[in-house]
C-alpha cells in the first residue's frame, strides 16, 4: 500500500510490476475496491506492466485532505482525481482500464486529455460519460427496474439505509449484478472493509443524486462538467468489455455500444460474466490491456 497527495485527496493505491514497465491504471467501481484487480494486476505484472490500483474517493484508506471539501461523487470529480493521480506520480501516458465508476473516470480523462492515454478498457456501457441533461427522460420499464438502487439513494431514507445497512446493501447489489458469480464470504468481506471509509455514504449518495441533476456539483469541477455536457468523443484505442450476465447494465447491440468513439474500438461480450468484469474474468480483462499495448 502506498499513499500520495493528488489534488484534493491523499490517495491510497497499490502498485505492482516493474517501475519501468508500461503503466496501467486499474480503476474499480461501486460497490467494489482494489481487490477487483488482484488477479488482473498479477497477470499484467508478470507481463512487465507497472500497475497502479487506487482506492477511489470515499473508499478504503483514501481520504480528503481538507475537511470542508465537498464530498462529491460527480463524474468530473472522478476524472479530475485520476488526472491528479497521473500528475502526482509523474505518469505522462498510461493505459486506463476500469468499469462502473472507474470506467467513468477513465472515459472522462480519455475524452478530455487523450494525450495522456495510450488506450482504454471500459466496461459497459462503453462510453461511460453521463448525459445529465437527459437523465430524467424515462427509459423502458426493464431499464428503470435495474436502477432501483439509484432512486432509493436519492432520498433521505436511502441515505440512512446506506449508512445503517451498507454492507448488506452492497452485497445485495453484488448478487443482483453478477448472478452467475459464486463469490465467497471472504471475497466479499475483503472488499466490504472499504465501505467503512467515513466519506463513503456522502460520496455515493451525491454521485447518484448529481447524475440526475438533483444536487449541485463541486464548483471546482464546473468547467469539466460543462465540457462533458457536450458529449466529447473518445478517440483513443478502446476495448469495451461487456458481461453477458450483467444485472445492472442494459443490454445493447454492438452498434449502440460503440457510439461516442471516433478511434479504433471493439466490443467483447463475455459469457457467464456479470458486472464485476475484472474480478469475474481476469484473464480476458488482462488480455484486453495487453492487446492495446501491442497495437
The pLDDT assigned to 33 comes to 98
Cβ pair 35, 102 in contact under 8 A: no
Assess if CATH 3.40.190.290 describes domain 2-293.
Answer: no
Count CB-CB contacts under 10 A for residue 175: 14
The CB density around residue 194, as the number of other CB atoms within 10 Å, is 23
Predicted pLDDT at 295: 81
pLDDT at position 221 is 98
The helix (run of H) or strand (run of E) holding residue 265 is strand 265-270
d(CA 76, CA 78): 5
pLDDT for 251? 73
pLDDT of residue 253: 83
In tens, the pLDDT along 215-247 reads 999 999 999 999 999 999 999 999 999 999 999
Which residue from 94, 112, 127 is spatially nearest to 289, judged by alpha carbons?
A: 94
- With 0.85 as the threshold, say if the pTM is over it: yes
Extract the residue ranges of the chain whose pLDDT is less than 70: none
Give the domain ranges of the chain. 2-293
Amino acid at each position: 500500500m502506498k499513499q500520495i497527495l493528488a489534488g484534493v485527496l491523499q490517495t491510497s493505491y497499490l502498485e505492482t510490476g516493474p517501475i519501468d514497465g508500461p503503466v496501467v491504471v486499474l480503476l474499480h467501481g461501486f460497490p467494489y475496491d482494489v481487490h477487483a484487480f488482484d488477479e488482473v494486476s498479477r497477470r499484467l505484472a508478470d507481463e512487465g506492466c507497472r500497475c497502479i490500483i487506487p482506492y477511489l474517493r470515499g473508499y478504503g484508506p483514501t481520504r480528503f485532505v481538507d475537511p470542508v471539501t465537498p464530498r462529491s461523487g460527480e463524474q468530473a470529480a472522478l476524472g479530475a482525481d485520476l488526472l491528479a493521480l497521473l500528475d502526482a506520480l509523474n505518469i505522462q501516458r498510461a493505459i486506463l482500464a476500469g468499469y462502473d465508476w472507474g470506467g467513468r473516470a477513465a472515459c472522462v480523462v480519455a475524452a478530455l486529455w487523450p494525450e495522456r492515454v495510450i488506450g482504454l478498457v471500459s466496461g459497459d456501457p462503453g462510453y461511460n460519460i453521463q448525459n445529465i441533461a437527459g437523465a430524467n427522460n424515462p427509459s423502458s420499464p426493464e431499464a428503470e427496474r435495474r436502477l432501483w438502487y439509484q432512486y432509493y439513494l436519492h432520498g433521505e431514507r436511502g441515505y440512512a439505509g446506506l449508512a445503517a445497512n451498507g454492507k448488506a446493501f452492497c452485497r445485495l447489489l453484488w448478487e443482483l449484478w453478477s448472478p452467475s458469480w459464486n463469490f465467497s464470504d471472504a471475497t466479499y468481506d475483503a472488499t466490504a472493509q472499504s465501505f467503512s471509509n467515513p466519506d463513503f455514504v456522502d460520496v455515493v449518495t451525491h454521485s447518484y443524486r448529481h447524475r440526475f441533476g438533483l444536487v449541485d456539483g463541486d464548483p471546482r469541477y464546473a468547467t469539466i462538467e460543462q465540457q462533458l455536457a457536450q458529449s466529447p468523443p473518445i478517440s483513443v484505442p478502446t476495448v469495451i468489455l461487456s458481461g453477458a450476465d450483467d444485472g445492472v447494465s442494459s443490454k445493447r447491440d454492438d452498434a449502440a455500444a460503440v457510439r461516442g468513439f471516433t478511434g479504433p474500438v471493439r466490443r467483447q461480450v463475455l459469457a457467464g460474466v456479470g458486472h464485476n468484469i475484472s474480478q469475474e474474468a481476469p484473464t480476458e480483462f488482462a488480455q484486453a490491456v495487453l492487446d492495446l499495448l501491442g497495437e
